[in-house]
């Protein structure tokens, strides 16, 4: 790094060299100090700054010549704490000569002593050529004991005057170097000098204390944080950002632009507000946000969130899309029901299929909303075009936005060449099914409303509107009217979506469907079982909080067990009406049978937690590993696949969750301890227990 060149000019090279020796240990990392005597200075020297040892010297040699209007800084000087300690307690009324080489420097020293508080003794100037004052036999000198006249019997050498704190602060500020490291150096220096700048010293101390607290806090944050000014000069960078950008402390005077460029990132992206931009830094996907700090028009903060999970999420999304395919699979004929109310609902849905209005499907999880969406699309004039089903609750907002609307090439660093079409674009002329619409953020609600109103989309990073012809079918298990009242869901979007609304009954309100559905699921699996008697009775009495999905999974479970006769005891949850022994009622995300019984007919007040096992839940903590493992064991038991750790790790990876075999071992042991799986020796590996199966319904 090129150091700044600073000329230090004093009456003699001795003095300027002494000042340079003081400055060098403090600022030598950034600056090189060159000593000059005022007589040697030509004014043509090429330097970044000129420092002059005193006001008087400056005035005496005015006009002072410098090249290219280089800035001049006049040094303010003070005593070392040690020197001040020698004189601050002198007896009042005593007389002292103040000795230096010239009259001016003596005057300066006397005013400094006075400023520091030495007001109780008489100070008499003495310099070369000054008249003798033989009745004063004591002297004070700032580092010039050889000049003290021989009639003085007692000399106090308070040492050469040192550079004051204010000058060093000034110097650092001019070159934007007042960073956290320098604040620490300054604070330590302040303790070694006697400064009259008490205010500055206290402020500095407070700043350092406050700063330390602030920096320590920011270093505990897992995101990278960098603050910088309008030119990009970094004021603060926390440990995470340093690691990420590989900047070292000694490089902290680099600009943010330089740091980004070193990582191959075009700093252009910092222009304007930066919101959830994806950038790649050393193979890591990072979500960048930058804003101005309020009240500081020139200070910006850049927050870098390391999205370790992003890749996993993308992988999951791809899997999800593959699983969903882009074609509707079901028609109204696939909806099994004996319930007159449901039959009426299907009739209405058929009518609704024939126009282009948006449809809102409301109902608890597992009631068949997606089945309805497929059927409506198949029955509509759009049936030859794509049907895209998408779960809005499965991705974080920024990914959701680019998945739905796509992005332009160069929208963010790492954006795919040629950009990427969004799902709306891919569904052109067809239908898009937006499941869990109640989970989208207010910002996305606004964007979606615009799409519905104007039938055109704006890609992320795009500038032109793209017309799309897509029918939207939205679904949620949430109580949207309540969310509208609580202002968490836009009212105008709600009304746009619910032009046509279908409320699908929970299974417990159409129990006549239970035998028909059981028959249907058994037949579909070619199972010859006859479920009647007490087990059928128990199934009819059970509340089915996970609705048809839970019923379907129960039949699936019975098919794994492989027997032809079943007892109610094989499915203990059927008879457990109150609190489930596996779950504490207050636990979040766990279904409470009593809560649903007491709730409104359409929505459980705990509806959010009702069974949903088709998609892996992505929470802030990531994919729910326990649930995924239970799903994988169930799947493996069904297909006869071995449930060894390696197999499970491979299958988990395919579903978007990366776990080591060791982690799987630990989690499986925990599942066994909870009675959810039964680990058997030998080839069969482990089996899901009835409790495990039940838990899967509830997760």
Write out the residues near ligand ATP by the rule CB under 6 A: 335-337, 363, 365-371, 435, 477, 548-549, 552, 612, 614
* Phi, psi for residue 581 in degrees, rounded to 5: -60, -20
Distance separating alpha carbons of residues 635 and 686, to the nearest angstrom: 12
Distance separating alpha carbons of residues 281 and 504, to the nearest angstrom: 47
**Token pair belonging to 1:** 């790094």
Place of tokens 């949207």: 480
Nearer residue to ligand ATP within complex by CB, 300 or 694: 694
Nearer residue to ligand ATP within complex by CB, 500 or 648: 500
Place of tokens 């060159």: 34
Pairing of strands 686-688, 274-281: unpaired
Distance separating alpha carbons of residues 488 and 479, to the nearest angstrom: 11
Nearer residue to ligand ATP within complex by CB, 142 or 366: 366
Nearer residue to ligand ATP within complex by CB, 269 or 332: 332
Q: Tell me the residue ranges of DSSP E strands in 94-161.
A: 95-99, 122-126, 138-141, 154-157
Residue with the shortest CB distance to ligand ATP: 368
Place of tokens 């030859």: 384
3-class DSSP state of 79: strand
Give least dist CB 360 to ligand ATP, A: 13
Give least dist CB 692 to ligand ATP, A: 20
CB count within 10 Å of CB 142 equals: 24
The CA-based angle 297-302-303, given to 5 degrees, is: 140
Q: Which residues contact 15 (CB under 8 A, 6 or more apart)?
A: 53, 160
CB count within 10 Å of CB 671 equals: 22
Nearer residue to ligand ATP within complex by CB, 368 or 419: 368
DSSP type of residue 233: B
Give least dist CB 517 to ligand ATP, A: 6
Distance separating alpha carbons of residues 284 and 261, to the nearest angstrom: 16
Give least dist CB 250 to ligand ATP, A: 55
Indicate the angle between helix axes 534-541 and 513-524, nearest 10 degrees.
120
Give least dist CB 338 to ligand ATP, A: 10
CB count within 10 Å of CB 280 equals: 15
Give least dist CB 371 to ligand ATP, A: 4
Longest CA pairwise span in the chain (Å): 128
Nearer residue to ligand ATP within complex by CB, 549 or 627: 549
Nearer residue to ligand ATP within complex by CB, 606 or 612: 612
Give least dist CB 454 to ligand ATP, A: 28
Nearer residue to ligand ATP within complex by CB, 370 or 401: 370
CB count within 10 Å of CB 279 equals: 20
3-class DSSP state of 6: strand
Give least dist CB 638 to ligand ATP, A: 15
Give least dist CB 554 to ligand ATP, A: 12
Nearer residue to ligand ATP within complex by CB, 194 or 376: 376
3-class DSSP state of 376: helix
Give least dist CB 184 to ligand ATP, A: 56
Give least dist CB 628 to ligand ATP, A: 16
Nearer residue to ligand ATP within complex by CB, 475 or 574: 475
Nearer residue to ligand ATP within complex by CB, 169 or 615: 615
Query: Is the previous residue joined to 63 through a cis bond, with omega within 30 degrees of 0?
Result: yes
Give least dist CB 391 to ligand ATP, A: 7
Nearer residue to ligand ATP within complex by CB, 122 or 334: 334
For the chain, report the end-to-end CA distance as a whole number of angstroms: 57
Residue 578 Cα distances to 254, 511, 591, angstroms: 64, 20, 11
Q: Which residues contact 330 (CB under 8 A, 6 or more apart)?
A: 371, 374, 375, 378
């Amino acid at each position: 790094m090129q150091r700044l060149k600073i000329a230090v000019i004093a009456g003699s090279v001795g003095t300027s060299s002494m000042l340079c020796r003081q400055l060098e240990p403090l600022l030598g990392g950034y600056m090189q100090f060159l000593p000059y005597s005022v007589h040697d200075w030509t004014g043509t020297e090429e330097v970044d700054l000129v420092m002059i040892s005193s006001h008087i010297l400056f005035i005496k040699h005015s006009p002072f010549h410098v090249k290219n209007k280089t800035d001049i800084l006049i040094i303010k000087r003070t005593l070392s704490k040690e020197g001040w300690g020698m004189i601050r307690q002198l007896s009042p009324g005593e007389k002292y000569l103040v000795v230096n080489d010239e009259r001016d420097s003596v005057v300066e020293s006397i005013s400094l002593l006075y400023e520091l508080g030495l007001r109780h003794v008489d100070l008499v100037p003495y310099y070369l050529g000054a008249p003798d004052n033989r009745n004063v036999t004591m002297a004070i000198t700032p580092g010039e004991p050889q000049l003290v006249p021989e009639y003085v019997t007692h000399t106090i050498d308070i040492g050469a005057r040192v550079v004051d704190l204010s000058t060093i602060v000034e110097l650092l500020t001019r070159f934007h170097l007042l960073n956290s490291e320098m604040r620490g150096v300054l604070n330590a220096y302040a303790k070694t000098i006697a400064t009259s700048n008490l205010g500055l010293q206290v402020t500095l101390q407070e700043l350092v204390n406050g700063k330390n607290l602030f920096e320590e806090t920011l270093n505990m944050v897992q995101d990278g944080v960098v603050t910088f000014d309008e030119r990009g000069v970094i004021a603060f960078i926390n440990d995470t950002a340093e690691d990420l950008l590989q900047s070292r402390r000694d490089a902290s005077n680099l600009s943010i632009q330089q740091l980004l460029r070193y990582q191959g990132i075009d700093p252009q992206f910092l222009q304007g507000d930066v919101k959830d931009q994806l950038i790649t830094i050393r193979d890591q996907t990072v979500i960048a946000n930058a804003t101005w700090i309020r009240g500081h028009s020139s200070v910006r903060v850049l927050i870098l969130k390391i999205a370790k999970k992003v890749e996993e999420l993308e992988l999951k999304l791809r899997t999800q899309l593959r699983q969903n395919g882009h074609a509707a699979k079901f028609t109204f004929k696939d909806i099994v029901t004996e319930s007159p109310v449901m039959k009426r609902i299907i009739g209405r849905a058929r009518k609704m299929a024939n126009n282009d209005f948006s449809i809102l499907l409301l109902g608890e999880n597992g009631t068949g909303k997606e089945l309805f969406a497929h059927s409506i699309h198949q029955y509509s004039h759009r049936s030859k075009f794509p049907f895209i089903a998408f779960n809005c609750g499965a991705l974080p907002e920024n990914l959701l936005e680019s998945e739905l609307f796509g992005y332009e090439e160069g929208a963010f660093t790492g954006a795919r060449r040629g950009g990427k079409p969004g799902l709306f674009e891919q569904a052109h002329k067809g239908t898009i099914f937006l499941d869990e619409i109640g989970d989208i953020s207010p910002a996305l609600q606004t964007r979606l409303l615009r799409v519905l109103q104007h039938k055109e989309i704006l890609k992320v990073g795009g500038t032109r509107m793209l017309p799309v012809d897509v029918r939207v079918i939205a679904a949620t298990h949430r109580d949207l009217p309540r969310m509208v009242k609580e202002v968490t869901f836009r009212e105008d979007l709600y009304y746009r979506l619910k032009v046509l609304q279908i409320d699908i009954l929970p299974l417990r309100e159409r129990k006549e469907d239970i035998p028909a559905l059981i028959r249907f699921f058994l037949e579909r699996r070619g199972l010859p079982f006859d479920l009647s008697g007490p087990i059928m009775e128990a199934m009819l009495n059970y509340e089915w909080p996970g609705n048809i999905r839970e019923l379907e999974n129960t039949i699936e479970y019975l098919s794994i067990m492989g027997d032809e006769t079943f007892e109610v005891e094989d499915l203990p949850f059927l008879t457990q009406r109150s609190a489930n022994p596996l779950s504490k009622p207050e636990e979040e995300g766990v279904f409470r049978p009593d809560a649903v019984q007491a709730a409104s007919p359409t929505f459980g007040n705990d509806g959010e937690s009702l069974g949903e096992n088709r998609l892996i839940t992505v929470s802030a903590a990531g994919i729910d590993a326990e649930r995924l493992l239970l799903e994988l064991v169930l799947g493996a038991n069904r297909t006869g696949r071995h449930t060894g750790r390696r197999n499970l790790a491979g299958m988990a990876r395919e579903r978007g969750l990366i776990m080591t075999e060791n982690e799987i071992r630990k989690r499986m042991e925990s599942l066994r301890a909870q009675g959810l799986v039964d680990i058997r020796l030998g080839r069969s590996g482990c089996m899901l227990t009835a409790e495990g199966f039940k838990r899967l319904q509830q997760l």
